Structure 1
């Protein structure tokens, strides 16, 4: 290969570029990014950046020295609008084209928005520009904040807003936040963190409409209640950025469909990160974005799938001064028990807890709230067992 184009100046895109050089590719490397920024770390946007504890300089994922080592051609502020698979040409919105021998799709995902007209005071939190706008609004004095969606981004943002002294309410359509990830029993315990942080939690009802003409004034719920609001933060998930691939003949279904090695139906095109559906699963987690590129790049350079990836799922979230960590694959039929720590009145104790999800006499997943060391041990044991099972598979 003489030219490889990475479409997406994202975390996974940067890791793919690093892997290309590390695995011996010394040709032309082009990195296309629709934002004007070099790759930056997104997890702090809802936490330390939003609260002002860190500046933009600490978000950067690479420095000038690494940029020189990568020797890449950066096309920032350029949105991909198409991919011609006949000659693997990436079409850009400014009319430019980039012909490549190999393509890495790392375009990530975009925050879902509520339908209806745009109003001042309504925010999503996915990009640096989103975080800049929200942070500026939160520093103008006490505000009534309504967060729509109690997932990771919504919960972390609510925690940050509460820490800044705002009056915060979370609206979650499900019976509890994080039920799909944690199951009802553990989701109940983690939901108690919101109450401990002084945040109101409204569950089991959706949003009917936003009130206000030019500026948001409230959130009307499906059950008829009206929540006054000066700021509304919409955290209802993300949609993979695949629109630019329409008409490319690549298989798309909630992401770019890939085999277990991140390879699409065309061996010269691979996908990584939030946009990739690898082996039937699309995982919007930091670990997937950093682990998939090594395998994807190896398969891309070889020209077919020689290595697959099925890492143990892992995610973490920082809320109200507590760190939630989860690893493994949970089923609804698993039994859950508290292995360490305490639970008091349906809430984590001050020393946190470690919970094990058990199935057929073995631990299938582990959840920790402020128990980092035992969690690391349990996660390592899970990974060793998963590796052994994969090695033993026919």
Structure 2
């Protein structure tokens, strides 16, 4: 007869429960591991922070500024080294343009100097790249950054504007319009102008100064066209009267082409026909004569003489300046001489012919 067992059998496939002692050991092991990991992390963080604090004001090894090694130096030491090495540095600024080659003393003319503070600040920023972990790893492994930062500089912008203005004064050539020389009627060709593009020149100089460039700076210019060319001259002078006092001749031009030439008399010595460029201001047929109130007029001064034998102004009148004008005369013998009191005398048929050809506003040049 089989006695009943005191052990209870578990169904097939059911795991047996771990002893209480084993579970406690497992929990302690996990806690210890976590504590070790956390301690290591804290220690590493503290160490990284300590390393980072110790290098906060130091420039990373391998950093160069304007070709000068400042790696491993503090900001103050790096600034001192840069000042010493750049004390005698002179950027070469040469301006080259039309009829201009000039070397500029940037220290004297532009008050240029290296911007040491900006260069050191930039070196520190680059040195702190990668965050605390990256910086600590570089410190522990001895890794170099291999960074070469450019020269930074400052200058007077007012002095730069003055320099650009001085260059423009030397280089600028205003365009010249085609001209008609009177009374010779010689035509002078136009000429294109040259003007410095001041904003572009200032920008080019600033780039050269900022980089410490030693190359030449070309002065940018633009060509300026004249307003009047030789081809334009005839249209600008559709009609023109030219009185040449030296040859006692009046010439009429149509678009600068000679149309007629007339002999004339001009003002006597002391009563010269006024030289200059004028325009026909008034026209009259068989005009009355308003006698000027001048000593030479004698008893007629201030009077009005109607057309007739007592009126020396015959047939036609073309006034051009302050009582002076072109008129006909029956004193034909005076033609070709200095005989009038300032007017231009013409033979009667000639003045009638001229009168019909020119309107009010026609330019008249008197010279010679």
TM-score normalised according to structure 1 size: 0.16
Question: Which protein is bigger by CA-based radius of gyration?
Answer: 2
In terms of fraction of residues, the more helix-rich structure is: 2
Structure with the bigger percentage of strand: 1
